[in-house]
Chain A
Amino acid sequence: MKNSNLYSGEFACLEKANVDTDQIIPKQFLKSISKTGLGPYLFDAWRFLDEGFLGKKPSDRKINPDFILNKPTYSEINVLISDDNFGCGSSREHAVWALKDYGINVVIASSFGDIFFNNCFKNGVLAIKISQDQINEIFSQQRQNSQKQIEIDLINQKIKIPNIKLIDFEIDEFRKNCLLEGLDDIGFSLKYETEISNYENKLKQLRPWILNE
């Protein structure tokens, strides 16, 4: 899944710190044995007033009108901006599968849970860290002007939002390439078969109890 360099679209702000993966996709949806079809349950306990379960029809749900993603203005978003420690907690990759299935392919926050951050890049979702001051400025712009247009240039590492100074962001070279090239991660690692085998031969001598042969 090769990505283009430019991401453009609309964003919504989820003004909350420590949004954990239990909120992004509650536990009852982890029973799925598939990676797809989780979008309808993204932020389930916040988007809906009733308790959801796998297979419950969206038309049977009680919508929470106060939740940001349910406001008509934000019905087309593909970028989510939140506070500190977004995606903390459980390792469930279902959180990223749900965001992606919903149509969100960029998440911006001042920091992320480490496992969630890794999971994003494994699924072609761009996770960007910027400073809390920059986050706060975006929040306040959206509150004042209902600003929601955004453009992200991955190669040049820039975020463009009207009325806000161009934001530079840092990203590891390998994660950037991973997104741009749509890397087959396992295939890439398997190119190092010789190195892995050499390591294993050494391991059998040094710590024979590991491979239990």
Chain B
Amino acid sequence: MSQKTLYDKIWEEHFVVDREDGSTLMYIDRHLVHEVTSPQAFDGLRQNNLIPRQINTIIATPDHNVPTTERAKDIEGIKDPISKLQVVTLNDNCDEFGINQFKLNDERQGIVHVIGPEQGITLPGMTIVCGDSHTSTHGAFGSLAMGIGTSEVEHVLATQCLVSQKQKNMLIEIVGKLQKGVTAKDITMFIIGRIGTAGGTGHVIEYSGEAIENLSMEGRMTLCNMAIEAGARAGMVAPDEKTFDYVSDKPFAPKGKELEHAINYWKTLKTDPNASFDKIHSFSAEEILPQVTWGTSPEMVTHVDDSVPDVKEDNKTLMSALDYMGLKPGTKIKDIELDQIFIGSCTNSRIEDLRAASKILDGNKISKNIKRAIVVPGSGLVKKQAEAEGLDEIFKTAGFEWRDAGCSMCLGMNPDQLKEFERCASTSNRNFEGRQGFKGRTHLVSPTMAAAASLEGKFIDVREL
């Protein structure tokens, strides 16, 4: 029998048919829907007199546009009429087609990539899609999870299949143990720094090695979340006992005998010992230090003890990045002063992230030069859990604003944005120009690095605290 990778196995398990044009229909097990990339897809269904094929595989929630304050006012709390219309349109579409939605006033509402795992909607071995590139997050459970465009959203709604082509297999091994103070976020940023933002293009990445096995499920989600920033549509980690324990008690997970049956199947979801990969990268965990981006692409990254590189003037891409960021070649990362701190996003807004950040902040105050520091929990339930543990009090005492769940300042579609030229240490995933606000400047870091930077007013090595 031929040796297969985890991706090969899931691909074969979901193969429906080869279309006569040479593409493949792949069956989709879960479809997550949010307000921004779905309205045109629902319009398409209506125009063609189609309905969603498998209503029970779909879950919707508003997350991109929603304000993170005044949640008690529900939809009336959305001041921007265009944002409001988009959220209302999601409500109308879900009502019309009978789609299960966690609405804005539901405590289960949150960032779509946080609530999927939280509810057990995400399970090992599944194919999962969403009109959002960070769908790669769900690969942490050993599922094949991919971001898709709106035309594909419509296609999956109508046919429960995605028109696909088999991708190549890439293995990224992180050998050995991480240093203390180094997190999953640092691993994923380090990898992007090494292989580049197009390094994984055309591949599905499987992450393995001792450092990956040691990560919590939250850590693995952070890792896979940024596979897309390495150019790969999907990243995945083989499921293990930690995965089975995590999903077993979740509301949407199978129960009793069916769960046993499922776990037996999930145990087969690993790469065979002699399976071959098209590309293999291997890094030593010890090499990985706390990471900070300095430019306008996630690959423009280095460790906290380093400096902004000596960019040559003829390198247009790098020069324009430094110009946008208002930085000079050779500036020490630790000399970069900050205006705002953002802890949140589908990368780092889970309970473990909030616990780690609050531990750094406990009993301390944010620096005077920080104009605003906000924490945006990934879901209503993460918020509730954090409050039960008293984390909200630690954040508030330190000077952070404690907000309601949503994507918030990761992309600033809601009112949470940087002002022109403001500089932010952010736990999100993209430092693109204007991402957090018009002319705003983003430095990507882990939650503990963001918390440490809030106390110092500039970057500091969290391991020194």
Interface residues of A (CB under 8 A from B): 15-18, 20, 22-23, 26-28, 30-35, 45, 51, 54, 83-85, 88-93, 96, 111-115, 118-119, 122-123, 172-174, 177-178, 183, 185-190, 192, 195-196, 199-200, 203, 207-213
A114 to B201, CA, bound (A): 7
The smallest C-beta distance from B262 to any residue of chain A, in angstroms, reads 6
The smallest C-beta distance from A179 to any residue of chain B, in angstroms, reads 12
A16 to B202, CA, bound (A): 21
A183 to B21, CA, bound (A): 11
Task: Say if the beta carbon of B327 comes within 8 Å of chain A.
Answer: no
| Contact residues in A for B228 (Cβ distance below 8 Å) | 89
Q: For the complex of A and B, list the 3 residue pairs with the smallest distance between their C-beta atoms, beginning with the closest.
A: A122-B151, A33-B39, A119-B149
Q: Assess the A16–B317 pair: CB atoms within 8 A.
A: yes
| Contact residues in A for B160 (Cβ distance below 8 Å) | 196, 200
User: B89 — nearest CB in chain A belongs to which residue?
Assistant: A33
| Contact residues in B for A35 (Cβ distance below 8 Å) | 40, 150
Which of the 9-residue segments B354-362, B430-438, B448-456 touches chain A? B430-438
Most chain A CB atoms below 10 A, which of B29, B36, B89:
B36
Q: Assess the A186–B56 pair: CB atoms within 8 A.
A: no
| Contact residues in A for B430 (Cβ distance below 8 Å) | 20, 22, 89-90
User: A194 — nearest CB in chain B belongs to which residue?
Assistant: B17
Having A33-B89, A91-B149, one finds 6 other A-B pairs with CB under 8 Å, namely A18-B317, A31-B83, A31-B86, A33-B40, A187-B48, A196-B25
Q: Assess the A189–B149 pair: CB atoms within 8 A.
A: no
User: B438 — nearest CB in chain A belongs to which residue?
Assistant: A51
| Contact residues in A for B438 (Cβ distance below 8 Å) | 45, 51
The smallest C-beta distance from A39 to any residue of chain B, in angstroms, reads 16
Q: Assess the A177–B158 pair: CB atoms within 8 A.
A: no
A199 to B13, CA, bound (A): 10
Which of the 9-residue segments B126-134, B174-182, B281-289, B334-342 touches chain A? B126-134
| Contact residues in B for A20 (Cβ distance below 8 Å) | 297, 430, 432
The smallest C-beta distance from A49 to any residue of chain B, in angstroms, reads 10
The smallest C-beta distance from A46 to any residue of chain B, in angstroms, reads 8
Q: Assess the B19–A188 pair: CB atoms within 8 A.
A: yes
Q: Assess the B56–A114 pair: CB atoms within 8 A.
A: no
| Contact residues in B for A34 (Cβ distance below 8 Å) | 40
Q: Assess the A115–B434 pair: CB atoms within 8 A.
A: no
Interface residues of B (CB under 8 A from A): 16-17, 19, 21-23, 25, 27, 29, 36-37, 39-40, 43-44, 48, 50, 53-54, 56-57, 64-65, 80, 82-83, 85-86, 89, 123, 125-126, 131-133, 147-152, 154-155, 158-161, 163, 165, 197-198, 201-202, 228-229, 231, 233, 252-254, 258, 261-262, 265, 297, 299, 316-317, 320, 411-413, 430, 432-435, 438-439
| Contact residues in B for A183 (Cβ distance below 8 Å) | 21
Contact of A31 among B82, B131, B151, B261 (CB under 8 A): B82
Most chain A CB atoms below 10 A, which of B80, B160, B165, B432:
B432
Contact of A189 among B43, B155, B432 (CB under 8 A): B155
Q: Assess the B21–A173 pair: CB atoms within 8 A.
A: yes
A118 to B53, CA, bound (A): 23
| Contact residues in B for A17 (Cβ distance below 8 Å) | 317
The smallest C-beta distance from B28 to any residue of chain A, in angstroms, reads 10
Q: Assess the A27–B413 pair: CB atoms within 8 A.
A: yes
Q: Assess the A203–B27 pair: CB atoms within 8 A.
A: yes
Interface of B is mostly: loop
Known: A34-B40, A93-B150, A192-B16. A199 touches B57 (CB 8 A): no
Q: Assess the A31–B65 pair: CB atoms within 8 A.
A: yes
| Contact residues in A for B86 (Cβ distance below 8 Å) | 31, 33
User: A88 — nearest CB in chain B belongs to which residue?
Assistant: B197
The smallest C-beta distance from B321 to any residue of chain A, in angstroms, reads 9
| Contact residues in A for B413 (Cβ distance below 8 Å) | 27-28, 30-31
Q: Assess the B21–A174 pair: CB atoms within 8 A.
A: yes
Q: Assess the A195–B54 pair: CB atoms within 8 A.
A: no
A191 to B151, CA, bound (A): 18
User: A35 — nearest CB in chain B belongs to which residue?
Assistant: B40
The smallest C-beta distance from B295 to any residue of chain A, in angstroms, reads 10
The smallest C-beta distance from A53 to any residue of chain B, in angstroms, reads 8
The smallest C-beta distance from A115 to any residue of chain B, in angstroms, reads 6
The smallest C-beta distance from A90 to any residue of chain B, in angstroms, reads 5
| Contact residues in A for B149 (Cβ distance below 8 Å) | 91-93, 96, 115, 118-119, 122
| Contact residues in A for B37 (Cβ distance below 8 Å) | 30, 91-93
Q: Assess the B21–A16 pair: CB atoms within 8 A.
A: no
Q: Assess the A91–B434 pair: CB atoms within 8 A.
A: no
| Contact residues in B for A187 (Cβ distance below 8 Å) | 48
| Contact residues in A for B40 (Cβ distance below 8 Å) | 33-35, 93
Contact of B197 among A18, A45, A118, A172 (CB under 8 A): A18
Q: Assess the B27–A199 pair: CB atoms within 8 A.
A: yes
Q: Assess the A186–B48 pair: CB atoms within 8 A.
A: yes
The smallest C-beta distance from B420 to any residue of chain A, in angstroms, reads 8
Most chain A CB atoms below 10 A, which of B163, B233, B254, B439:
B163
| Contact residues in A for B317 (Cβ distance below 8 Å) | 16-18, 83
| Contact residues in B for A189 (Cβ distance below 8 Å) | 19, 25, 155, 158-159, 161, 163
